[in-house]
A and B are shown apart, each in its own frame.
Chain A
Amino acid sequence: MGLWRDLAFRLGALTRRGLLEDELDEELRFHLEMEIERRMAAGESRAEASRAARLDFGAPESVKEQVRDAWGVRLADETRRDLQGALRLLITSPAFSAIAIGSLAVGLGTATVIFSLADSVMLRPLPFADPAGLVSLQEVTPGGLPFSLSEPNLLDFERSSRGLEGIGAWVFSPPRPALEVNGTRLQLLSEAVTPAFFSVLGVEAQLGRTFDPEEMRDGEAPRQVVLSDHGWRRLFAADPAVVGRAIDLDGELWTVIGVLPEDFSFGTVKQDVFLPFVPRASSQRGNHYLGAFGRLADGTSLEQAQEELRALGDALAQRHPESNGGWGVLLRPLDRFLLGDENRRAHGVLLGASALLLLLACANISALLLARAADRRDEIQLRLCLGASRGRLRRQMMVESLVLAMLGGACALVLAALAVPWVRGLDVALPRLDQVSLGGRSLVFLALATVVSSLLFGLASALRATTAGDGGSLRSRRQGSDKGSRRLRSALVMSEVALAMVLTVGAGLLLRSFEQLRAFDSGFDVSGVLLARFDLPPERYPEEGEAPRFFFDRLIERLEGLPGVEAVGGSTVSPFRDGGTMNVVALETEVELSAFLPVHWRAVTSDYFEALGIPLLRGRSVGSESDRHLETVISASLAKRLWPDRDAVGERLRWRVPDGPLLEVVGVVGDVQDLELGGERAAMVYWAQRAMGRLSLTLAIRTGLEPTALSSAVRDAVREMDPLLAAPALSTLSGQRVEALARPLLSLRLVAFSALIALLLAAAGVYGMVAYTVSRRQHEMGVRAAIGALPRQLISLVIRDAAALLAGGLAGGLVVSLGLVETLRLLLYQTSPFDPQVLAVVVAVLVAVGLVASSLPALRAGRVDPITVLRQD
C-alpha cells in the first residue's frame, strides 16, 4: 500500500512538475517574507532584514534541490538530463550519429528479419497440440534408407503399439481433384489423410469439425472434405456457410465438414482440401506410399517407443519375409522430420551469420565511441574535478549508448518491416514461410537485441572514459596518455576485420557451392521444354481402363501437330517437383529379397526420352502398343550393375517381389537425376505409361520456340478434347529447375548480404582507426617532413599501421573461420569447407578493402605541410 502511494506521489510529481515547482517557489518566498517582516518588527531596517533573512535561509537552489530529492524524482531528473545531453550530442555530430545508427540499424534489421524467418520456419513449435509428443514414423529399407509405410504395416503398427497412442498418416502424391466453380474446373492441391490424422495432431477445426475415425472404421471413406484456411479463403471467399455444403470434385459430390485453423500448416504444400483416406489390410504389404506420425503415450520416451516399434517391425519381417525381410522402423521428432536436417542447419547458419554481423556492428560503434570518448576527455576530466561521481558519468554514457541503440533499433524496425513481406512472398519450399511476420516474438527479439547491443558497445567506452588518466590529464592534451584506449580500439577494429572475414568466407563457400549446383548436369536438356500437368478425374477416366490411354494418345498426337513442337512425351514424375517413386528389382534368377536393388521408376510414353533429351544408348524406347506392357527401358548405371559384362537389351529383370512380373529390357538410356539438383544419378526403371493407364501425367513438350509461347495453344487443344477438364498447370522445365535452386539461393543471398555489410563496416572501422591515428600523429609527421622525410615515406608509415590492423584481423578471422566452416559442410555441394581458393579470394578482398579504406588518410599524411603543423604549437 505504502509502495503504491509512494509511486503515485512520484508519478504525480513527474507529471505535474511545473505546478509543483511554482508552488515550491511561492512557499519559499512566503517563508522569506515572513522572516523579513519578523526582523523588521524587531526593529531592523528592510535592507538589513532582507540580507540577514537570506543569509539565514541559505542558497535557495540547494534547498530546492533537497526538496526535489524528497519528491523522489532525482533519478528521473538526471535521466532526463542525460537523455537531452545524449540527443544534443547526436545532433551536434551528425556524421558520427549517421554511421553509428546506420550500422546498428542494418545489423539489428538483418538479425530481426532472419530471426523472424527462422522463428516461423523452425523455432516456433508446430501448430499442433503438445507438439513435443509427436514423432514421425518411417520404415527403413534393407539398405538403411528411411522410407514410407505400406497400408497393412501401418495398420499393424497402429493395432499393436502401446508406446504410440495414436498414428496418423498421409498419402504421398495425393489426388489433385478438380473443383467445379461456375461451370469451369479448378485444379486443387489436396492431402489425403487417415481419419485419425487431425485427432492425433490435436487440431480442432475453426469451423465445423475434422474427420471422425468412428465413421470410417473398416471400409469406404465417406465423401467428406475438410478445407484448409487457405482453400476456404481462396475458393469460398471465407464463407462460414460453406460447412455442410456439397461441392463437386471431379464430378462427384462431397460434403464440406469443416475448416482448419488459420495457423495450421503441414509440410511445404499449400493444400486447399484434405480428403479422407482409409487404409486397408488387403492392400499390398510391399507397396510403400504413406507418410506417418504418432503421438507418444504418456510417460513413454521416444527411445522406448523406438525400441517397441523395432520389435514390432522385426515380428512383421518374420511373418512376412517376402515383403518385410530386412526392413526396420525409425522414429524421429516430427518437427525435425518435417523441416529436414539440411534446412535446420541452413537456418542455424543464418542465425549465426546475423549474430556475427550484429557483433561486428557493435564493435564498430564501440570503436567510434572510444574515439569520441578520447575527444571528450577534457570534458570528462573537468566534470570529475568538479565533483561528479564516476558512477554518475558512467550512467550518463550508458544512457547515451542506449539512446543510440534505440534509434538504431527504430530504424531496424522500419528496415525489417520492409524486408519481411519480401521474405514471406518468396517462392521457396519451406514450411510456414507464408507465416513469417514481425509478430510479438520478433519484436521482443529486436528489443532484447537492442538493449544487449547497447551494453556491448557502450560498456567499453563508459569504463574506459571514466577510469583512464586520473587527474593531471587536463594539461596533457597531446601526450598519448590514451594508449590503452587506442590499443582497445585497434583490437576492436581487428575483430571487425576478423568477423567480416568469417562472414565473407561463409558467403564465398555458399556461392561456390551454389555455382556448382547451378552447373549441375541433370542428364537431360532443360531448355526449350514446356511442362503440362494433367490429373484426369477418375469417374470419367477409370484408372487402368482404356479412357486415360485414349485421351493421352490423342492429346499427344494433337500437340505434336502444333507448329514448332519437336517432341511430346509424358512421365508420372514432374522433374524437380515431385517426390521419387521407388521400388526394388533383381536379376530374374534371384529370389532372396536381400539381393534386390532399390531403383527409382517412372511410367513414360515412348517419346519421353526424345522430349527431354535423354540419350538412348542401346536398343529402342518403350513401345506404344498396349500389349507390350512388360517392356522396360533402364538407365545405364542399372544396366552396368546388373549385367556388367553383357548387353542389357534382351535380358529380363524381376520387379519387386520374387513372384513379381518379369520385365524385358528393350533399351538403355543415359542416367538422369530429375528430383533434386546435386543428387546422385539414380538407377532408374522406365515402364510404358501406355500399359499402366495412369491418370496423373506430366507432358514434356519440346520446342524450338520460346516454350511459354505454346501455352495458349496447349490449353486450347485440351479444351477442345475435353471441355470439362481443368486447365493443366503449365511451367517450363528450366523454370522448375530454377525453383529447385530457391532454397540454397535464399541462404546464399542472406549470408552474402550479411558479408557485404560486414565488409563495409570493417572498411569503415579501418578507415576510422587509420584516420584517427594520422590526425593524432600530424605533429610527428610535420616534424618528420621538416627534417626531410618524403611524402612516400610518410604514406608508408601510415600504411604500415593499417597493414598491422589487417594482418591481426585476418589472422584472427582465419582461425575462427577454420573453426566454424565445418558447420557449413551439410549445406555445401561439391565444395570443401576448407576450399583454398575461396580462402585466398576472401583474404585478397579483405586486403584490398582495407588498403582502399586506409589510402585516403594515408594520402593526407603524405600531404602534411610541416610549416602549418608546426605553427599550430
Chain B
Amino acid sequence: MSEERADILQGTLDLLILRTLRAGAMHGWSISQRIQQVSDDVLNVQQGSLYPSLHRLKRRGWIASEWGASENNRRAKFYRLTEEGEARLEVETERWQLLSSAVSQVLQNA
C-alpha cells in the first residue's frame, strides 16, 4: 500500500514524541495534549497512531515505561526518554532540520 507516506508521518510523530518527552515522564494522553498545545493546535495527534508509535519506540529501547499515579491520582502508564533515546533525538532533530531547511529552500527558490 502507501508504505512510504506512512513512514514519513510515523517518523515525524516519533520525533515529536521523543522531543516532548525530553521535558520529563508523561503518559500518552498528556503527550498528545502537549503536542497539540505547543503546535498551537496545528498538529492533532490521532490515538490510532500515537499508541502504536509509543510501543514501537519502546521496543526499540528509545523510551521506557512505568506505571505511576496521574495528576488526578489514577493509575497511568508513564513514558520517559532513555539515554539511547536522547542520543537518537539529537540525530533525528538534526536530520529533520536539514530536511526542512532543504525543503523550504526548494519551495522558496525553485
A71 touches B46 (CB 8 A): no
Kindly provide the distance from the CB of B94 to the nearest chain A CB, expressed in whole angstroms. 20
Q: Chain A: how many interface residues by the 8 Å CB criterion?
A: 28
B56 touches A30 (CB 8 A): no
Given A5-B61, A31-B28, A23-B77 contact (CB < 8 Å): yes
Kindly provide the distance from the CB of A185 to the nearest chain B CB, expressed in whole angstroms. 78
Cα A66 to Cα B30 with chains together (Å): 20
- How many residue-residue contacts, CB under 8 A, span A and B? 64
* Binding-face segment, A55-63, A425-433, A438-446: A55-63
**Binary contact track B67-110/A, C-beta < 8 Å → 1, others 0:** 00010101111000000000000000000000000000000000
Which of chain B's residues 20-50 have a Cβ closer than 8 Å to chain A?
A: 27-30, 33, 46-49
Q: Which of A6, A24, A33, A57 contacts B47 (CB 8 A)?
A: A57
Residues of B within 8 A of A67 (CB): 51-52, 55
Q: Which of A10, A31, A70, A71 contacts B29 (CB 8 A)?
A: A31
Q: Which of B29, B51, B75 contacts A63 (CB 8 A)?
A: B51
Residues of A within 8 A of B48 (CB): 57-58, 62-63, 66
B52 touches A70 (CB 8 A): yes
Cα A397 to Cα B27 with chains together (Å): 43
Cα A27 to Cα B48 with chains together (Å): 13
Q: Which of A9, A31, A71 is packed against the most chain B CB atoms within 10 Å?
A: A31
Cα A23 to Cα B77 with chains together (Å): 9
CB nearest neighbor in B for A37: B72
Which of chain A's residues 1-36 have a Cβ closer than 8 Å to chain B?
A: 2, 5-6, 9-10, 23-24, 26-28, 30-31, 33-35
Residues of B within 8 A of A27 (CB): 28, 51, 76-77
Q: Chain B: how many interface residues by the 8 Å CB criterion?
A: 23
Q: Does A72 contact B (CB under 8 A)?
A: yes
Kindly provide the distance from the CB of A26 to the nearest chain B CB, expressed in whole angstroms. 7
Q: Does A69 contact B (CB under 8 A)?
A: yes
Kindly provide the distance from the CB of A109 to the nearest chain B CB, expressed in whole angstroms. 44
Q: Which of A27, A30, A62 is packed against the most chain B CB atoms within 10 Å?
A: A27
Given A30-B74, A58-B47, A66-B59 contact (CB < 8 Å): no
Cα A37 to Cα B76 with chains together (Å): 15
A26 touches B75 (CB 8 A): yes
CB nearest neighbor in B for A57: B47
Given A27-B77, A30-B74, A58-B46, A66-B51 contact (CB < 8 Å): yes
Cα A9 to Cα B61 with chains together (Å): 9
Cα A23 to Cα B56 with chains together (Å): 15
Residues of A within 8 A of B28 (CB): 27, 30-31
B59 touches A71 (CB 8 A): yes
Residues of B within 8 A of A69 (CB): 52
Kindly provide the distance from the CB of B77 to the nearest chain A CB, expressed in whole angstroms. 5
Cα A56 to Cα B28 with chains together (Å): 15
Q: Which of A9, A28, A33 contacts B59 (CB 8 A)?
A: A9
Residues of B within 8 A of A6 (CB): 59-60
A31 touches B70 (CB 8 A): no
Residues of B within 8 A of A5 (CB): 61
Residues of B within 8 A of A72 (CB): 59
CB nearest neighbor in B for A59: B48
Which of chain A's residues 65-80 have a Cβ closer than 8 Å to chain B?
A: 66-67, 69-72
Residues of B within 8 A of A23 (CB): 77
Kindly provide the distance from the CB of A556 to the nearest chain B CB, expressed in whole angstroms. 92
Cα A57 to Cα B45 with chains together (Å): 10
Cα A31 to Cα B76 with chains together (Å): 9
Residues of B within 8 A of A33 (CB): 74
Kindly provide the distance from the CB of A128 to the nearest chain B CB, expressed in whole angstroms. 54
B52 touches A30 (CB 8 A): no
Kindly provide the distance from the CB of B2 to the nearest chain A CB, expressed in whole angstroms. 15
Residues of A within 8 A of B55 (CB): 67, 70-71
Residues of B within 8 A of A10 (CB): 59
**Interface residues, chain B, CB within 8 Å of chain A?**
27-30, 33, 46-49, 51-53, 55-56, 59-61, 70, 72, 74-77
What are 24 A-B pairs at a CB distance below 8 A? A2-B60, A5-B61, A6-B60, A10-B59, A24-B51, A26-B75, A28-B51, A30-B27, A30-B28, A31-B29, A31-B47, A34-B70, A37-B72, A57-B47, A57-B48, A63-B48, A63-B52, A66-B48, A66-B52, A67-B52, A70-B55, A70-B59, A71-B55, A72-B59
